[in-house]
Structure formats: structure tokens, C-alpha cells
């Protein structure tokens, strides 16, 4: 491949392993933690269009909607309303940074468990909220729960999966995230006409949290995490269970022990170590990949798709139904990604998905500009509203097979053990702070930019696709213990990592 591509020699270390029933069940349980994040993404946008919810907490929006002078893009422009959504991501930012030390201290599995319990409490508070303060408190607890699980679950999946199929297993997190979005859309549609519908929608967040929490109690931690905490015998048992009883796990266990000893011998603070020159490529990926993912605009579509579709001509019912359609398309495209990510590689999916999203964003902006006029005052016909939905469905498909799952996969697989939890924490924190800023400003931006808001995201998609072509190496099929080899073979990053091979092989 041109630019960032290169031929990767066979890694120095390749361990035996096969897909066992144990590894499948374990990965399903861990990946199900994506349900809680996805459910919240899908539920909040629909709830904010429910009249009983708005009447109780945001009556100003209903008054604004009844005002003829307000243009179609500005009806939902409310900082308090966006704070309801974005407060979760500010809390997630704080907990994801703390999760680095928590995950290293108590393990991946226990961190996921902690996140599930916290989310469970937050869901209960939201369902029973009587005022804005209680509503926001519940959102903050949800954010703490999501922060812990989003940091620990992708790490767990990358560490437990056989290298040959690591991409497919890791996409399980995004798969359950998409299932959560879809289920939330269906629940919103089913409860939209009931006075207490918003309570049901918000309160049912406890169900995926309970499923995930109970499931996590039944699994063990990853071998890497167990070795890191000195539990070598447990790590051996865990490896035999997930790799298969006929597989000799001692070589892989010996390498995990060796890497752990190298890590501990350094006696360095991970948050300082990760800023060293030799880890520059890792840090850049951990920052820019989640940053770029949010600037595709996908979470804005997920949060506010009902509001958005109402703004471009759909009625309330049709707007909620449209968000379900988007969720279905995203889920199908994710299944495609799972099937091909370890065959065609990460770069191919990144680039092809980026091109599809770019074309669709430009097309949506063009349609809205022509149909609604410069000031957004013209009515949108049913036909044109359907065209916008179709374009956003194609866009959602492009995201589902590229930046959706790969943003969780890449940061979780590129870091050496000694800074792996720190790198994942930084990646999740960047995602949360970017999501917070964008979700807090999107409705105002939509009001002021109108159709050009989609051009804003299109510009970023163009930038990130070029970034992948030039700077992102291919990581498919490479064991985590040999991942350092990809940087030394890259046309640009090799200048930063000259001494990494010697460090890992003293």
C-alpha cells in the first residue's frame, strides 16, 4: 500500500491458539458491556423528543417549537438540554483517566464489574428523577460506569483473543454497542405516547447493566492482567481454558511473564513513560483515532437523530422510527466488518469507510441547502426527507464497518504491556472529551451553520482518511507481544522507535 502501508514480516513470536467455546463465551460476556454505552447513546436522543419529558424538564423547548418565527434548525437549541446528554461524557472522561490505575490494580474483569454496578445505580436514578438535579446526577453516574467499562472491555478482548482473530473478537464491543442503540430506539418508539414513557426508557438502562454485571461475575480475568498482578497459576489456567486443552500454553505464558518483568523493571510512572519519544506513534494513535471518530459526526447523529429528522420534515413518530432504521443499518455493516477485518485488514476498512462517509455528508449538506434554502425556512417534502434518511443510512453503514469498531480495536492492541492500560485510558478520555464538546455544541452549531454543519464533519472525514493513508500501519494478525515490529518498518514512525526492539529483547 502507498503512504502508510508496508509489508510486515512474520512476527518473531506467534503462539498457538484456536477459537474455543470458552473464549467465545468469555468475549461475548465482556463485549456485552458495549450494551450500556449503546443503550444510552440511543435512548437520550429519543427521550428528548418526548412531550411529557420536555414538559417536565424543558418546557421552554415546547414553547419554542410552537413559535413560527424559529427556523427548523433552531428548535432544540438549548444548553440545558444538551447538558442532559453531555454530562455523561464529562463524567466518563474523569473515570476513564482514573481507570488506568484501577485496571492495573484490580484487573480488567473487576473494572468492568465496577462500571456495571455504577451504571446500574445511575439508570435507577434517571428512571425515578423528579428534577433536573437528580436527572443530571444519574447521568453522571452513568458516565462513571461507561468510563470504566469502555476502558477495560476493549483491553480485555484484545488480550484474550487469539492474534489471528483479534480484530473480529474486538469488534464484538462495537456490535453490542450498536445492539444497545437499536434496542433503545425500539423502546423509545414503543413508549413515546405514554405519560411515563420517558421513565421506562431511562429506567430500563438497568437491564443491560444487570446482564453485563452478572455475566462478568462468571468469568476470569485475562492472562496478561493476572500475570501483571503476580497470579501466574491462575493465568496458566485461564490460558488453557481459552486456548484449548490440547494447546501448549507455556510459551505464551513465558512471554507474558517476561514482558511483565521487563515492565516492572523499568520502575517508571506509566503516564510519564507514554510521553517518551519512542512511544510517540502509540500516543498519536491513542489521541487522534478516537478524536477523529467523534468528528465523523456519528455520535451526534445517534444523540440527536430524532431531533434532526424532526427538523428536516419527519413527524415525531417517523423521526423515532428513522433512528431505528439507522441503528439496523449500522448493525448490519458492523457484522460485515467483523467478517472481513482480519482478512482485508484495518487500513482497507478505515479508508473505504471514510470515502463513503465523506460522500454522504457532502450529499446531505447539498440536499438540505437546495431544499431548505440559505436560512432554513423552507418546508421539506416527504420525498426529500426520505432522501436525507437514505444518505444518512449509507453514511451509518460506512461508519459501522470502519471507524466504529476500529476505534476500539487499534488503541487496545498497539501498546506494550507496561503502558497498555494508560494508553487505553487516554484513548477513551479523548473520545469522551471530544464527545462532550461536540454534543454540547451541536444543536447550537446546527442552528447557526444549518446545512453547513454537515460540511464541517465532511472536512474532518477527509482529513482523517488522509491521516490513515499516510500514517496508520497495518496491525492484523500480529501478536500483542510482537506489535513493536510494525513501527520500525513504517516510513515515518521508524525514526522514533529505534531502541524499542532492544528494550523488548534484553
pLDDT in tens, 16-70: 566 788 888 998 999 999 999 989 888 887 787 788 888 888 787 777 666 645 5
Record the pTM. Answer: 0.80
Measured in whole angstroms, the distance separating CA 167 from the mean position of its chain's CA atoms is 15
The widest CA-to-CA distance across the chain, in whole angstroms, is 73
- How far apart are the C-alpha atoms of 400 and 107, rounded to whole Å? 29
- Which residues have a Cβ under 8 Å from the Cβ of 348 and sit 6 or more positions away? none
pLDDT in the model for residue 10: 39
Q: Are 465 and 355 in contact (CB under 8 A)?
A: yes
- How far apart are the C-alpha atoms of 339 and 349, rounded to whole Å? 11
Percentage of the chain modeled with pLDDT above 90: 40
pLDDT in the model for residue 50: 83
Distance linking the first and last C-alpha atoms of the chain = 32
**Inter-CA distances, 213 with 110, 187, 300, 307, 354, Å:** 10, 21, 28, 32, 35
pLDDT in the model for residue 19: 79
pLDDT in tens, 389-415: 889 889 999 999 999 999 999 999 999
What is the pLDDT confidence band of residue 375, given thresholds at 50, 70 and 90? low
- How far apart are the C-alpha atoms of 112 and 38, rounded to whole Å? 15
CATH of domain 21-504: 1.20.1250.20
- How far apart are the C-alpha atoms of 51 and 39, rounded to whole Å? 21
- How far apart are the C-alpha atoms of 359 and 234, rounded to whole Å? 50
Residue linked to cell 472481513: 340
Residue linked to cell 468469568: 219
- How far apart are the C-alpha atoms of 177 and 42, rounded to whole Å? 10
- How far apart are the C-alpha atoms of 418 and 300, rounded to whole Å? 34
- How far apart are the C-alpha atoms of 176 and 149, rounded to whole Å? 13
Q: Domain ranges for the chain, please list them.
A: 21-504
Measured in whole angstroms, the distance separating CA 348 from the mean position of its chain's CA atoms is 19
What is the pLDDT confidence band of residue 493, given thresholds at 50, 70 and 90? very high
- How far apart are the C-alpha atoms of 309 and 46, rounded to whole Å? 11
Task: Find the Cα–Cα–Cα–Cα dihedral 166, 168, 171, 175, rounded to 10°.
Answer: -150
pLDDT in the model for residue 304: 59
pLDDT surpasses 50 at 506? no
pLDDT in tens, 334-353: 999 998 999 999 999 999 99
Q: What is the mean pLDDT of the chain?
A: 84
What is the pLDDT confidence band of residue 327, given thresholds at 50, 70 and 90? confident
Helix (H), strand (E) at residue 448: helix 420-449
**Inter-CA distances, 139 with 41, 144, 199, 264, Å:** 12, 9, 14, 38
- Characterise 345 by phi-psi region: left (phi > 0), alpha (psi -120 to 50), beta (else): left
What secondary structure does DSSP assign to 336-360, as a single string?
A: HHHHHHHHH-HHHHHHHHHHHHHHH
- Which residues have a Cβ under 8 Å from the Cβ of 388 and sit 6 or more positions away? 309, 312, 364, 367, 368, 380
Q: At what angle do helices 132-160 and 166-191 cross, to 10 degrees?
A: 150
Question: Nine-digit cell at 86?
Answer: 453531555
pLDDT surpasses 70 at 73? no
Q: Are 469 and 2 in contact (CB under 8 A)?
A: yes
Q: Are 346 and 477 in contact (CB under 8 A)?
A: no
Percentage of the chain modeled with pLDDT above 70: 85
What is the pLDDT confidence band of residue 505, given thresholds at 50, 70 and 90? very low
Using a 10 angstrom Cβ sphere, with 0-12 exposed, 13-18 middle and 19 or more buried, the burial of residue 7 is: exposed
pLDDT in tens, 157-204: 988 888 788 888 898 998 999 899 889 888 988 888 788 889 999 999
pLDDT surpasses 80 at 379? no
What is the pLDDT confidence band of residue 102, given thresholds at 50, 70 and 90? very high
The closest alpha carbon to 189, from 329, 355, 43, belongs to: 43
- Which residues have a Cβ under 8 Å from the Cβ of 141 and sit 6 or more positions away? 91, 118, 119, 121, 122, 125
Supply φ then ψ for residue 222, to 5 degrees: -75, 150
Amino acid at each position: 500500500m502507498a503512504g502508510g502501508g508496508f509489508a510486515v514480516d512474520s512476527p518473531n513470536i506467534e503462539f498457538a491458539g484456536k477459537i474455543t467455546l470458552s473464549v467465545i463465551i468469555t468475549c461475548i460476556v465482556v463485549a456485552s458491556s458495549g450494551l450500556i454505552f449503546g443503550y444510552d447513546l440511543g435512548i437520550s436522543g429519543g427521550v428528548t423528543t418526548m412531550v411529557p419529558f420536555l414538559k417536565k424538564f424543558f418546557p421552554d423547548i415546547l414553547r419554542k417549537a410552537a413559535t413560527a418565527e424559529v427556523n427548523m434548525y433552531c428548535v432544540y437549541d438549548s444548553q440545558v438540554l444538551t447538558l442532559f446528554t453531555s454530562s455523561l461524557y464529562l463524567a466518563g472522561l474523569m473515570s476513564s483517566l482514573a481507570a488506568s490505575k484501577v485496571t492495573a490494580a484490580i484487573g480488567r474483569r473487576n473494572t468492568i464489574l465496577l462500571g456495571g454496578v455504577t451504571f446500574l445505580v445511575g439508570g435507577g436514578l434517571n428512571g425515578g428523577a423528579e428534577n433536573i438535579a437528580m436527572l443530571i446526577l444519574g447521568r453522571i453516574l452513568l458516565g462513571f460506569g461507561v468510563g470504566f467499562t469502555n476502558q477495560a472491555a476493549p483491553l480485555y478482548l484484545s488480550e484474550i483473543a487469539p492474534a489471528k482473530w483479534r480484530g473480529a473478537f474486538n469488534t464484538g464491543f462495537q456490535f453490542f454497542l450498536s445492539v444497545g442503540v437499536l434496542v433503545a430506539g425500539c423502546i423509545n418508539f414503543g413508549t413515546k405516547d405514554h405519560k411515563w414513557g420517558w421513565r421506562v426508557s431511562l429506567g430500563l438502562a438497568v437491564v443491560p447493566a444487570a446482564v453485563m454485571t452478572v455475566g462478568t461475575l462468571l468469568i476470569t480475568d485475562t492472562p496478561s492482567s493476572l500475570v501483571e498482578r503476580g497470579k501466574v497459576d491462575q493465568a496458566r489456567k485461564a490460558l488453557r481454558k481459552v486456548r484449548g486443552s490440547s494447546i501448549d500454553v507455556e510459551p505464551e505464558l513465558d512471554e507474558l511473564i517476561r514482558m511483565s518483568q521487563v515492565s516492572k523493571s523499568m520502575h517508571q510512572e506509566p503516564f510519564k513513560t507514554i510521553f517518551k519519544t519512542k512511544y510517540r506513534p502509540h500516543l498519536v494513535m491513542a489521541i487522534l483515532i478516537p478524536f477523529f471518530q467523534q468528528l465523523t459526526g456519528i455520535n451526534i447523529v445517534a444523540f440527536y437523530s430524532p431531533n434532526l429528522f424532526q427538523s428536516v420534515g419527519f413527524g415525531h413518530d417517523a423521526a423515532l422510527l428513522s433512528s431505528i432504521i439507522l441503528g439496523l443499518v449500522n448493525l448490519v455493516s458492523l457484522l460485515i466488518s467483523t467478517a472481513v477485518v482480519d482478512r482485508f485488514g484495518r487500513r482497507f476498512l478505515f479508508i473505504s469507510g471514510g470515502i463513503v462517509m465523506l460522500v454522504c455528508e457532502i450529499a446531505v449538506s447539498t440536499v438540505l441547502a437546495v431544499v431548505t434554502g440559505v436560512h432554513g425556512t423552507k418546508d421539506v417534502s416527504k420525498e426529500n426527507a426520505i432522501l436525507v434518511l437514505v444518505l444518512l443510512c449509507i453514511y451509518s453503514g460506512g461508519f459501522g464497518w470502519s471507524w466504529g469498531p476500529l476505534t476500539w480495536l487499534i488503541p487496545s492492541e498497539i501498546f506494550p504491556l507496561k503502558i497498555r492500560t494508560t494508553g487505553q485510558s487516554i484513548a477513551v478520555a479523548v473520545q469522551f472529551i471530544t464527545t462532550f464538546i461536540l454534543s454540547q455544541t451541536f444543536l447550537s452549531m446546527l442552528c447557526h451553520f444549518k446545512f453547513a454543519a454537515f460540511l464541517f464533519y465532511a472536512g474532518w472525514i477527509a482529513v482523517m482518511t488522509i491521516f490513515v493513508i499516510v500514517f496508520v500501519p497495518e496491525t492484523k494478525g500480529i501478536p500483542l507481544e510482537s506489535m513493536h515490529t510494525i513501527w520500525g518498518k513504517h516510513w515515518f514512525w521508524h525514526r522514533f522507535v529505534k531502541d524499542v526492539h532492544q528494550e523488548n529483547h534484553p
